[in-house]
Amino acid sequence: MSILIDKKTRLLVQGITGGEGSFHTQRCIEYGTKVVAGVTPGKGGSQILGVPIFNTVESAVEKTGANASMIFVPAAFAADAILEAVDAGLPLVVCITEGIPVSDMVMVHDYLEGKPTRLIGPNCPGLISPGKCKAGLMAGEIHLSGNIGVVSRSGTLTYETVAQLTGLGIGQSTCVGIGGDPLPGTTFVDILKLFQKDRETKAVVLIGEIGGTAEQEAAEFIKKKMTKSVVAFVAGATAPPGRRMGHAGAIISGSSGRAQDKIAALATAGATISPSPAKIGLTVQKVMKKWNAAP
Amino acid sequence: MKIHEYQAKALLSEFGIPVPKGAVASTPAEARKIAAELGGKVAIKAQVYAGGRGKAGGIKIANSPEEAEKLAARMLGTRLVTHQTTPEGVPVSKVLMEKAVNVQRELYLSIIVATASRMPVMMASEAGGMDIEEVARISPEKILLEYIDRSTGFQTFQGRKLSYGMNLSPDQIRPATSLMANLYKLFQAKDCSLAEINPLVVTTEGEIIALDAKLNFDDNALFRHRDVEQLHDVEQEDPLEVKANNLGVKNYIKMDGNIGCMVNGAGLAMAVMDLITQAGGSPANFLDIGTVNNTDRVVAAFKVFTTDPSVKAILVNIFGGIARVDVIALGIVEAHQQMDIRLPLVVRLAGTNVDEGKSILAASGIKFIEATSFDDAARKAVAAAKGDIN
């Protein structure tokens, strides 16, 4: 098993004809993802990379049975694209687009309320269930199928972590990039819940960063509900306050959002903290050895 | 994005929120003229992108136009250092001249988007005029919150709750409520990330006025607010950050160390800074080089590094995913062809097209220190900055 995406995923790509959209669609197809439809208004009826293009998400879903969408639509129009995917009833929407205004995301969250769609992102690298399905930007070949769930606010730091894990022969069940925005569709807690339920996932790596309180909320969940081991790293211990560190959500405001507080909360909740971003793989290995040593 | 107080007050005024009478001056003579027009006591306020001006000498009261001119002359053209600025401070090129008001009470009012509830929230407090974080720490019960539903907008009852909560007198409830509603309108209309009035004062005449104003805007929404974008004053930003931005290197933040960092991805860039610090060094900057499709941005980043006198070593750490390692390598080579770079260079490459990248660097003849991993790169960069290796 895995979470959110697997061999049954039938992916639709919104913004498939754009530069990034077509580039990454091709790489997803090469990885083995079933990309069944693309949506670009005005280009319906044509094809790209052998994938049929539709004018609307609704018609694409109707004709192809797509059950997930990956969005590459430019920031100014991305909220509309998300709403269209939600309206079409897709259970999973992955929004890669960076730079969506916060007020647009407030509207998106209002619209999502009570609907069956799970939104991953925006401003995220997407997700991968190694060996099964890739709906994102990550290089597929660094992954290995296995039992560690990975959830992260950062794209490249996730690649770094996955490379460490794979290098040690430790495979992953699903790796989810929830994105670097202040109002993500899916939070650490949402993904931790799914990993906790997933039979294939034996332990979880959580990669946080400065800004907001998502890690503290994750800590609360780990303490109360999580029986699986969690290894955590939080980036930005040396980031200055008041500055936005690349990601829209990565900012220490006043005394809140500091890495130190997040690390303390996660440690108190029972997560094993990786002392360095270069030692996340080794920390997971140690945690696994402990289980094997246990009677 | 930040703007100056005088610009924020012009926007407040546009949205029907009372502000003190005043005008902005760029010269002492202008300051004198404005003070004479305003008459009586005037406040002279340095216009900088930093809080803590009062304690730092950035706010003065003058009793006459002559005194106003003298005080303005002392501020204009200097750099103001507050607890929020670097030790070099920020330049004062304008002062806001305002008719002094008779303050009876100092209140606090602000709006942000609360990330946990994903809703705009209005915060009000009787304890105005001080840092709201300080109030939150000492007496959190003095902070009142009203979450604002997008579909209904800010409602009058919420204004009443906050106004009565701040113990305003019966005749102040209505104007306070309408002021709050207007602040929310402004917040929505201009895609603010913060709208803060601290202090919001009640004058001895019973009027409610925004004595100070701070508006920050969502950078991601500036594309639909060109009028706001134009207000930005680059003079207030770090010159190297401005230079980087002009060269197309976004996401560059100047730090106070000596290792110039080029990393792809914000999280990885922060992690590299953390590793450098753990290894006993200190980063000269944060830089997420982003997705690189051609060599321009890499060359530009090297231009920034070579302009920064504090940089003693350069660390390039790239994990190619979307960014292609070979393009980064080509950029490094191009930069060395275009500039005389003598700084030690530590390079760690991994991911998409890594082998091509490594052979490009090897074939170029550029002197560099190869690192095999993330932490190896940090350790070597720290050693290189100290002059231990090169």
Q: What is the CATH number of the domain that holds B33?
A: 3.30.1490.20
* Residues of the domain holding B168: 1-17+101-236
Region of poorest pLDDT, from A32-41, A72-81, A244-253? A244-253
**pLDDT over threshold 90, residue B85:** no
Direct distance between the N- and C-terminal alpha carbons of chain A, in angstroms, rounded to an integer: 26
Given a contact cutoff of 8 angstroms between Cβ atoms, the answer to whether A94 and A68 are in contact is yes
Q: Using the beta-carbon criterion (under 8 Å), do A246 and B266 form an inter-chain contact?
A: yes
**pLDDT over threshold 70, residue A168:** yes
Q: What is the pLDDT of residues A185-211, one digit of tens each?
A: 999 999 999 999 999 999 999 999 999
Distance of alpha carbon A282 from alpha carbon A248, whole angstroms: 30
* Same domain flag for B142 and B12: yes
Strands A34-39 and A10-14: parallel
- Catalytic site positions of B: 108, 196
* Same domain flag for B212 and B299: no
Q: Is the dihedral of CA B93, B97, B103, B105 positive or negative?
A: negative
* Same domain flag for B368 and B246: yes
Q: Across residues B300-306, what is the average pLDDT?
A: 95
Q: What is the pLDDT of residues A18-59, one digit of tens each?
A: 988 999 999 999 999 999 999 999 999 999 999 999 999 999
CATH of the domain at B9: 3.30.470.20
* Same domain flag for B5 and B137: yes
Q: Which of B58, B112, B105 has the alpha carbon at shortest distance from B85?
A: B58
Interface test with A, best of B319, B324, B353, B376 (most A CBs within 10 A): B319
* Residues of the domain holding A258: 138-293
Residue A105: burial class (beta carbons within 10 Å; 0-12, 13-18, 19+): buried
Contacts of B219 in chain A (CB under 8 A): 244, 248
Q: Which helix (H) or strand (E) holds B103?
A: strand B103-114
Q: Using the beta-carbon criterion (under 8 Å), do A249 and B115 form an inter-chain contact?
A: yes
Q: What is the pLDDT of residues B152-191, one digit of tens each?
A: 999 999 999 999 999 999 999 999 999 999 999 999 999 9
One-character DSSP codes across A34-48? EEEEEE-TT-TT-EE
* Same domain flag for B114 and B189: yes
pLDDT of residue B290: 84
Direct distance between the N- and C-terminal alpha carbons of chain B, in angstroms, rounded to an integer: 40
Which of B65, B84, B100 is the last residue in one of the domains? B100
| Residue B277 backbone zone (phi > 0: left; psi -120 to 50: alpha; other: beta) | alpha
At residue A138, the 3 state secondary structure works out as: coil
Whole-number average pLDDT of chain B = 94
* Same domain flag for B114 and B153: yes
Interface test with A, best of B287, B322, B327 (most A CBs within 10 A): B322
**pLDDT over threshold 80, residue A254:** no
* Same domain flag for B216 and B300: no
Which of B48, B69, B100 is the last residue in one of the domains? B100
pLDDT of residue B322: 66
* Same domain flag for B108 and B167: yes
Strands A68-71 and A92-95: parallel
Q: Which residues pair with A230 in a beta bridge?
A: A204
CATH of the domain at A189: 3.40.50.261
B271 min Cα distance to partner chain A (Å): 5
Q: What is the pLDDT of residues A89-132, one digit of tens each?
A: 999 999 999 999 999 999 999 999 999 999 999 999 999 999 99
Q: DSSP assignment, residue B76? A: T
Number of domains within chain B: 3
Q: What are phi and psi of B264, to 5 degrees?
A: -105, 125
Q: Across residues B206-234, what is the average pLDDT?
A: 96
Which of A60, A91, A120 is the last residue in one of the domains? A120
* Same domain flag for B258 and B349: yes
pLDDT of residue B138: 87
Distance of alpha carbon B187 from alpha carbon B119, whole angstroms: 13
Neighbour-count burial for A212-242, b at 16+ CB within 10 Å, e otherwise: bbbbbbbbebbeeebebbbbbbbbbbbbbee
* Same domain flag for B210 and B293: no
* Same domain flag for B120 and B194: yes
Region of poorest pLDDT, from B15-19, B109-113, B130-134, B143-147? B130-134
